[in-house]
Chains A and B, each alone.
Chain A
């Protein structure tokens, strides 16, 4: 009898273990298949003669097979070790990274490798066999990372699964359908079909292995509908209905997955999740990820009444030229709060001396909070750092901390308020520039919390025009915008939203394309060849209201901007751009397509409620200072 019970118990236990293993077994089996495919690819390349078209074609076919094996694993690899993943399927030969937690260190170089780059290299006539082999070897070495205990041990609990799934869903919305890592555009939709089926298989195995934290039937049904939708769509990515795909299929799955993350108390040990918020249920909720802290030194104050007071002081300071050396210039001089916090008239603002001009166009402050790196060259890691710099920059506001604090404190209203605030920042009890800049960023960041008709359409509370929908579909496909201006903020921050991207597009110095703009961009901060003339990708939101365009304000209309991209950037316009990251080929957009793109861009105009300018500024005990004007003089 005892033996019977014991053997039954052993049977149950082993059955349970076997179940538990199914999920992990699927992982290692898929990984092995990919490894074998890679080895085979390697020997094919070794035996081939690259001068023969037939041999090249054979290699490309095998790369495609490799890609499909990789896509079956993409769900895991991209989440479990994103750095190694880039060596298997990175889009660029060299990338310079500055991610959330490397902000305090200089950017570091990352050598890409793998399938995408190998495929691209075969398009070049002069490619050497050894170079192609090296790219594949990089990938083969990187795959080994995914067999390490530290990685495979995560597969024995359910936590990573929902987080990897979240990344997969975000990438479905932002990357997979745009050709970001798939140079052959005819393969994009077929790859998604294959990948969604592979993920369905992962889901099934997960539910068998982790029956107490399953994906619900509702989720699995919704996923089946997504698969059916992708199969019904045309194979050409330009005809794919990106809009409905995200709105009706991806976003609802994202919502349910976020609910699982909360219900199952999912924990993370991964940097991938650092910026992402758990209690957000739409990709188009602006709280989806966290890039900038708008409260600075006031971060730990939660008293609503005091926060409202800080904001009020921030607004006054924003308009107050007391922050400048000559008391004639305020933040509002260049970032006009009634003009989307930019200057729509001047190409580039005046310097402090009121004679010369600054090299760059004043950027809109709206939505700057969704960037990890601030300024077009990514010079600053925080909004407060940017504000500190501009106040003290001799060419801009030309002030200094000591003088500024003295002047601010000569106004009773400021003094009383900031005394109260500083009492709540134990690490810095004296009123300092930190308090001033934090009040300012806390004020203006509020204007980034508004939504556009496009967001409302994605959340199904608004019906978008057909032109705008077509425009979005073009944006994500033929017009190649979505590969740098990523869903949902349409800026250079892509899932998992931990870094900002820089691109070289060859912006001219003049609108007739006589020569390239001499602004070195990111190179000034990170002096490496790849970063020459590179600028942080800006957001498309509110673009219709934030002219002039580009870093130097060279274009007055969006038509001119579209024309630059349509021509293949500066290179396409016959300028000499050594390292353009934008395709140099024409996009061949028709007039109608350009109009549709414009309609989409207009749907990103946010319904912002602007505030009235303050009637007066705080009175100072220094009579001279009371001559200053609200908003400054130039």
Chain B
């Protein structure tokens, strides 16, 4: 019985969380005011794609959704400002084997996600 309650409450909280996150999507990114509505949507689409790729391919080492690894950037505001696409490929190709394989569109999506993500 106890287990059932735990499962039920877990399920309901995930459902609630999911609802929140769909509402949150619009306010999840910081897009400058001058960007048109149409482009804003394109940016959000790009960010969402980037987020998915990031979660799968970057989270093993970089924080945000996971603990990440020590000494590996987890893209705080200062870090992202000094972190460029060049660094993604350049610094150590052995660590970034997966990034080397990505298409420029995919890298662009991840960088756009990281740059526009609202950081509290």
Residues of A within 8 A of B (CB): 101, 103-104, 267-271, 273-274, 278, 293, 295-297, 299-300, 381-382, 384, 426-428, 434, 438
Contact = CB atoms under 8 A, between A and B. Distances in A.
A268 B103 contact: no
Interface stretch (B20-28, B59-67, B85-93): B85-93
A428 B49 contact: yes
B104 A269 contact: no
Q: Please classify the interface of chain A as helix (H, G, I), strand (E, B), loop, or mixed, using the class held by over half of its residues.
A: loop
Contact of B90 (A104, A274, A438): A274
B38 interface: no
B106 A101 contact: no
B103 A295 contact: yes
Contacts of A270: 90
Contacts of A297: 103, 105-106
Interface residues of B, number: 24
A382 B103 contact: yes
Interface of B: 48-50, 52-53, 56-57, 84-86, 89-93, 98, 101-106, 108-109
Contacts of A268: 90-91, 93
Nearest to B51: A427
A438 B53 CA distance: 18
A382 B106 CA distance: 12
A482 to B, nearest CB: 29
A427 B90 contact: no
A15 B110 CA distance: 49
Given A267-B92, A299-B106, 8 more contacts: A101-B85, A268-B90, A269-B91, A273-B90, A278-B93, A299-B101, A300-B57, A300-B106
Contacts of B103: 293, 295-297, 299, 382, 384, 438
A162 B28 CA distance: 44
A398 B86 CA distance: 36
Contacts of B105: 296-297, 382, 384, 434
A297 B107 CA distance: 11
B92 A293 contact: no
Contacts of A382: 103-105
A283 B66 CA distance: 42
Contacts of B52: 426-427
Nearest to B106: A299
A271 B86 contact: yes
A268 B92 CA distance: 7
B101 A300 contact: yes
Contacts of A271: 86, 90
